[in-house]
Structure 1
Amino acid sequence: MENEFAKVMSERTNEELIKIVTVERGSYNPTAIEAADAEVEKRNIDTSEFEKIREKATAEKEQKEKVDSNVVGSGIRFVNFLIDFIVWLVLAFIISFIIGLFVQPTDQGMISLIGYILIFGTFIAYYAVMEIKFQKTVGKFVTKTKVVKMNGEKPTDGDIITRTFCRLIPFDRLSFLFVKNGIHDFLSKTKVVKDNVE
């Protein structure tokens, strides 16, 4: 009788197979491991590659575990949100006050449009600039946390921009009540961790 995992393992790359039969062996069903071992033998994969890939996979796994163990909980995320919300409101107020000194629109529609632009503009600018430049917002400075990619590396500017715009998704703030990583973390493939993580 053919192993039920034979087809699945035949579709894996050499590197994936090596990871399965070495570093990730404990995460798989014994029948799946048998199929992976058989596929490695069938392909006659050079065992000298095993050690390099195993070392790389082990290092990646350790780094991921280190990052995961330092992910902050909902309480700290809520404190970050409150602090950042206050800072953002103060910024929006100051900027609108300054603009109000120079621009006196008489049309109610124009006042509303300027108001919306200010609200969204300061929101996007605050989060994007702070997290691109420092990996932190004011709230994260206070709680000694920072934004990282899933593997612990510094996020790219694109990651932060995605993260910032995803904050505008309705109910994003509530997602932290149910999971450690909210919607904007999930979609931008980022996490908030304690600042001591390398």
Structure 2
Amino acid sequence: MENNFDKVMSEKTNEELIKIVTIENSKYQKLALDSAEKEIESRNIDITEFNKIKDSVNIEKQKKDQLDLNTVKSSTRFVHFIVDTFIFFIFYVIVGSIFQAIFQFDVNKNFLFTWLLMVITFVFYYSFVEYHFQKTFGKYITKTKVVTINGEKPSLNDIIVRSFCRLIPFDRMSFLFIKNGFHDGLSNTRVVKE
């Protein structure tokens, strides 16, 4: 009689199966592990391929553990927030003044326009500096940078998603409850020590 785990494990890749029976075995119950081992045997995975995949999985796990170890604390993120908010407002005042001078339009008298200009400036500021430098001014001070969950430089898409996620209400407070706040979690990025 086939248990439910047999079907689930049959849909896993070789790498996922090897990961389950090696480094992630503590996360699974015995029946699931038995099904994973049975699936590995039925696929006749070559022992050299098994060891190669196992080694790459271990390296991946070590990189993730190192990344987790280097992930900065909420107090450091609070410093980033204070510094970057101050820099953003200076940047916004400059952009608003330039816009006002060019178009002879008082940005402070139109709430919707002011809000829209602020959002565009906000997303541009964070996207530009984090994409080009992997850090904002606050991160320069604390010697930290933005990386993907694999420890690599984020793509422009990752950074834009990260910047828009900062607009989620209570995003800044999310760091009080979870190690990596909303804009980290949703963009699959982390802030780590250099």
TM-score, normalised by the number of residues in structure 1: 0.88
Note the C-alpha offset of 1:42: 2.1
Deviations 1:77-96 (A, max 9, x none): 11100100000111111222
Kindly provide the CA deviation profile for residues 23-80 of structure 1, in whole angstroms up to 9, marking residues without a partner as x.
3334432332222111212222222210110111011000000001111111111110
Q: 1:93 to 1:39 in 2, by over 3 A?
A: same
Task: Tell me: CA distance 1:108–1:157, structure 2 relative to 1, closer, same or farther (3 Å).
Answer: closer
Q: Tell me which amino acid in the other structure corresponds to 1:163.
A: R
Q: Percent identity?
A: 52
Give the stretch that moved more between structures: 113-122 or 70-79: 113-122
* Alpha-carbon distance in 2 for matches of 1:23, 1:101: 61
Counterpart secondary structure, 1:151 = coil
CA spacing shift, 1:12–1:101, aligned 2, 3 Å: closer
| SS of 1:192 mapped into structure 2 | strand
* 1:146 and 2:145 are equivalent in the alignment: yes
1:33 matches 2:14: no
1:7 to partner: Cα distance: 2.6
Task: Give 5+ residue unaligned stretches, structure 1.
Answer: none
Letter in 2 for 1:105: F
TM-score by length of 2: 0.90
- Residue in 2 that maps onto 1:12: 12
The match for 2:73 is 73
Give the Cα–Cα distance (whole angstroms) in 2 for the partners of residues 101 and 41 of structure 1.
73
Which runs of 5 or more structure 2 residues have no equivalent in the other structure?
A: none
Q: Aligned equivalents of 1:29 and 1:108: distance in 2?
A: 61
Q: Distance in 2 between matches of 1:175 and 1:154?
A: 24
* Superposed CA RMSD: 2.1
**C-alpha distance in 2 between matches for 1:13 and 1:113:** 50
Matched ranges for 1:56-67 at <5 A = 56-67=56-67
| C-alpha distance after superposition, 1:11-32 (max 9, x if no partner) | 2222221222233334432332
